[in-house]
Structure 1
Amino acid sequence: MRSSSSSKQAADSSRGINGHILTLHQRLYHALNLGTRCCDDKGQKWHYSDIEIQRLVVRSVDAFLDSISAESLQHQVVKESVGDIVGAVGSILASKSEATMRLASDIAVKIVRLIPSSMLQPHFSNLIHPLSSWLSFRELRVAISCASALNLILSNLTSKREKKVWEILKTTNVVGDLVENVKGYSTENKATEYFQEMASLLSKILWRWPPSRFHVWTDKKLFSILDTVKLNPDCSIKIAVMQLFSALALCGNGTNKLLEDGEGLVKIMVDSLDSSNPYSVQIEGLRLAQCLMTSEQGCSKIIKLSCEPIVKAIITLMSKWSLDAGKLAKDQMSILVEACRLALITHWEGDHHFYFWKAGVDRVLLRLIIGNSDTTQQSLHSLSLQEQIIKLEEVFDTDVLLPLRPYVWDILGCLTANCMEDFFPKMHGNETVFNVLVVCAW
């Protein structure tokens, strides 16, 4: 008779796994073992010289991945297969067999999407090198899949592995290939998805590895192409272009280069902040503005070109929110965070301070502190200082907007520190609101 402890172990080992998955697992290893296995410092690898065997391996991996659920991903059988799966697909990609490239690149995307990053991290290099080598492949479907897989990998890459990955990217000349791919988009009538994936991947590399930026911001033809592409009305193209501009703006020289055509860029940036746009477009517009205005010089240039429209857009995005059943939608919170970060341009002196006060920044900040209660705001006007304090204490620590409060204090501090000598809240009709803000800060 089986003991209770051994019965429990058997039950634990089979939890999340069914007969179908085990059958597909057996078929997977039957296919894998048709090749030659080898190990090196980069991990497990397989070699398949026969194209039909490569196809069999890829299809076996595909079938096995399709059978896996979120629960079965935690099973030891699946966990122990990850290294072999990545090693096999990486080896097939590295074999440069055009006959299996589409299948293998599509499976690489599926692997990165399905298997948790924590399981894949030790094996990333087995995929990154071959995927990087196919970014300029003439068959667009393959190039797009390789870029998509790399985008997903870099999005989840830990800082611990950045140095090793950068060495691979340098070896395969990824930055150079991506720049050429982006430049080729508008002249060769390629799919929107192609530009989106290539530009997004280039942006991620520019964000993570500063040495990559020089090769990009010094390419005059690239900037000329982007000047044309940025006018494309497609939202996915807009987002990709703004992400690329944001990454380039991380470098001071890149910011200067972008602002050579300041009016055109600023118009697109301000237009993207219009509340009629999808949240994703607004967020990228806000991030681009943040990157361009990080320095006092960049902020000054943009303020001279479009001061009031930018301030109005910031105030509008900080104002247009509402609670549903006492909760704030995730997208709305993201917009508020990015808008508040951009409002920190108040750190710099300039004409924008006047327009912030003119647009009612104090009322907006107060609403972010005490929540969506018009009654509370109106009642404060007629109360004494002590009564205001009591009233504010009722709502001060119960609001869903608590994560925004540090931004509110920073913005208020910057506005106060940089206000003109003759400034007085009453000149904008905001004296009571300003006094309430002081009470809140106190």
Structure 2
Amino acid sequence: MRSSSSSKQAADNSRGINGHILTLHQRLYHALNLGTRCCDDKGPKWYYSDIEIQRLVVRSVDAFLDSISAESLQHQVVKESVGDIVGAVGSILASKSEATMRLASDVAVKIVRMIPSSMLQPHFSNLIHPLSSLLSFRELRVAISCASALNLILSNLTSKREKKVWEILKTTKVVGDLVENVKGYSTENKATEYFQEMASLLSKILWRWPPSRFHVWTDKKLFSILDTVKLNPDCSIKIAVMQLFSALALCGNGTNKLLEDGEGLVKIMVDSLDSSNPYSVQIEGLRLAQCLMTSEQGCSKIIKLSCDPIVKAIITLMSKWSLDAGKLAKDQMSILVEACRLALITRWEGDHHFYFWKAGVDRVLLRLIIGNSDTTQQSLHSLSLQEQIVKLEEVFDTDVLLPLRPYVWDILGCLTANCMEDFFPKMHGNETVFNVLVVCAW
């Protein structure tokens, strides 16, 4: 008679796995075993010289992945298959056979999307090398899928594997290929998705690996193309262009190059901050502004070009939020965080300080502290200092905006440290609000 512990182990082993998955698993390995298997330091690899066998393998992998649920992903049968699946699809991609590339590249995207990054990380090399080599493949659908898969891989890449991945990207000359692909978008009438994936991938590489940036910011033709593409009204194109500009601005020389056409770039950046835009566009606009204004020199250049509109946009985005059933929507919190980060340009001296006070930054900061409680600025006005403290303590530690509080104190500190010698809150009609902020900080 089977013991209770044995029964429990059997139940645990079969959890999430049904007969259909096991059948597809058997078919998968039947197909895999039609090739030659070998192992190296990168893991298992499979080689198939016959096109029909390649098709069979890719379709078997595709069917197996379609049968897997979130629960079955944790099963040993699935976990032990990951290395072989990646090795087989990677080898088929490396063959660059036109007959199988489209299906194989689509399955590569499915692998990266479905299988948890923690399971894939040890096998990334077997995918990154062939995918990188196919970014300029003649069939655009294949190139787009390869870029999409690489975008997903780099989004989940741990710092531990950065050095190894960068060596692969250098070997396959990915940066040069991506630059040429981006330049070819506007001249060859390619799909929007093509530019979006290529520009996004290039941005991720520029963010992670600083040595990649020189090759990009020194390419005059690329900047000329981007000057044209940035005028495209399509939101996905706008986002991709701003992500690329943000990555280029991480390098001081890149910032200087971007600001050679300062007025055009700043206008697009400010326009993207308009609250009528989708959240995704606003967030990328805020991040671009942060990157361009990281240094005092960059901040000074942009402030001279468009001080009032930028400050007004920041204040508007920090003000336009509301609670729903006592909660703040995730998108609204993301906007608030990025807007507060941009408001830290107050760490630099300049005319923008005057515009921040003029736009009522103190009222905005106070609202971010006390939230939408009944403790309004009007009610605090008539209270004594001690009564204000009591009122504020009622809401101070219960607000859903608590994660924003460090930004509020930093912004207030920067404003105070860099205010003009003759500044006094009363000159903007804000004396009471300013005093309440001081009480909060105290």
Q: TM-score, normalised by structure 1?
A: 1.00
The aligned length equals 442
Partner of 2:184: 184
Matched position secondary structure for 1:45: strand
In structure 1, distance between residues paired with 2:137 and 2:88: 21
Partner of 1:63: 63
| C-alpha distance after superposition, 1:269-311 (max 9, x if no partner) | 0000000000000000000000000000000000000000000
Partner of 1:390: 390
Q: Is the 8 A contact 2:375 2:392 kept in 1?
A: no
Partner of 2:99: 99
In structure 1, distance between residues paired with 2:94 and 2:190: 25
Matched position secondary structure for 1:374: coil
Q: How much does 1:96 deviate?
A: 1.5
Matched position secondary structure for 2:37: strand
Unaligned runs of 5+ in 1: none
Matched position secondary structure for 1:420: coil
In structure 2, distance between residues paired with 1:222 and 1:291: 20
| C-alpha distance after superposition, 1:322-381 (max 9, x if no partner) | 000000000000000000000000000000000000000000000000001354322110
| C-alpha distance after superposition, 1:237-262 (max 9, x if no partner) | 00000000000000000000000000
Q: Is the 8 A contact 2:318 2:336 kept in 1?
A: yes
Partner of 2:245: 245
In structure 2, distance between residues paired with 1:426 and 1:215: 52
Unaligned runs of 5+ in 2: none
In structure 2, distance between residues paired with 1:2 and 1:206: 59
In structure 2, distance between residues paired with 1:435 and 1:175: 53
* Displaced runs of 4 or more, over 6 A: none
In structure 2, distance between residues paired with 1:105 and 1:252: 37
Question: Are 1:156 and 2:156 matched, yes or no?
Answer: yes
Matched position secondary structure for 1:137: coil
Q: Is the 8 A contact 2:203 2:247 kept in 1?
A: yes
Across the aligned residues of Structure 1 and Structure 2, the Cα RMSD in angstroms comes to 0.5
Matched position secondary structure for 1:274: coil
In structure 1, distance between residues paired with 2:96 and 2:229: 32
| C-alpha distance after superposition, 1:74-108 (max 9, x if no partner) | 00000000000000000000112111000100000
Matched position secondary structure for 1:135: coil
Partner of 1:295: 295
Q: Is the 8 A contact 2:373 2:395 kept in 1?
A: no
| C-alpha distance after superposition, 1:368-423 (max 9, x if no partner) | 00001354322110000000000000000000000000000000000000000000
Q: How much does 1:138 deviate?
A: 1.0
C-alpha change, 1:236 and 1:332, in structure 2 (3 Å) is: same
In structure 1, distance between residues paired with 2:124 and 2:304: 46
Sequence identity (%): 98
Question: Are 1:168 and 2:168 matched, yes or no?
Answer: yes
Matched position secondary structure for 1:399: coil
In structure 2, distance between residues paired with 1:28 and 1:316: 56
Q: TM-score, normalised by structure 2?
A: 1.00
In structure 2, distance between residues paired with 1:415 and 1:178: 42
Q: How much does 1:228 deviate?
A: 0.1
| C-alpha distance after superposition, 1:180-203 (max 9, x if no partner) | 000000000000000000000000
C-alpha change, 1:374 and 1:300, in structure 2 (3 Å) is: farther
Question: Are 1:402 and 2:405 matched, yes or no?
Answer: no
In structure 2, distance between residues paired with 1:31 and 1:417: 69
Q: How much does 1:5 deviate?
A: 1.1
| C-alpha distance after superposition, 1:131-184 (max 9, x if no partner) | 000000110000000000000000000000000000000000000000000000
Q: Is the 8 A contact 2:82 2:120 kept in 1?
A: yes
Q: Is the 8 A contact 2:375 2:391 kept in 1?
A: no
Partner of 2:48: 48
In structure 1, distance between residues paired with 2:77 and 2:187: 49
Partner of 1:214: 214
Q: Is the 8 A contact 2:83 2:123 kept in 1?
A: yes
| C-alpha distance after superposition, 1:38-60 (max 9, x if no partner) | 00011110000000000000000
In structure 1, distance between residues paired with 2:308 and 2:377: 26
Q: Is the 8 A contact 2:307 2:352 kept in 1?
A: yes
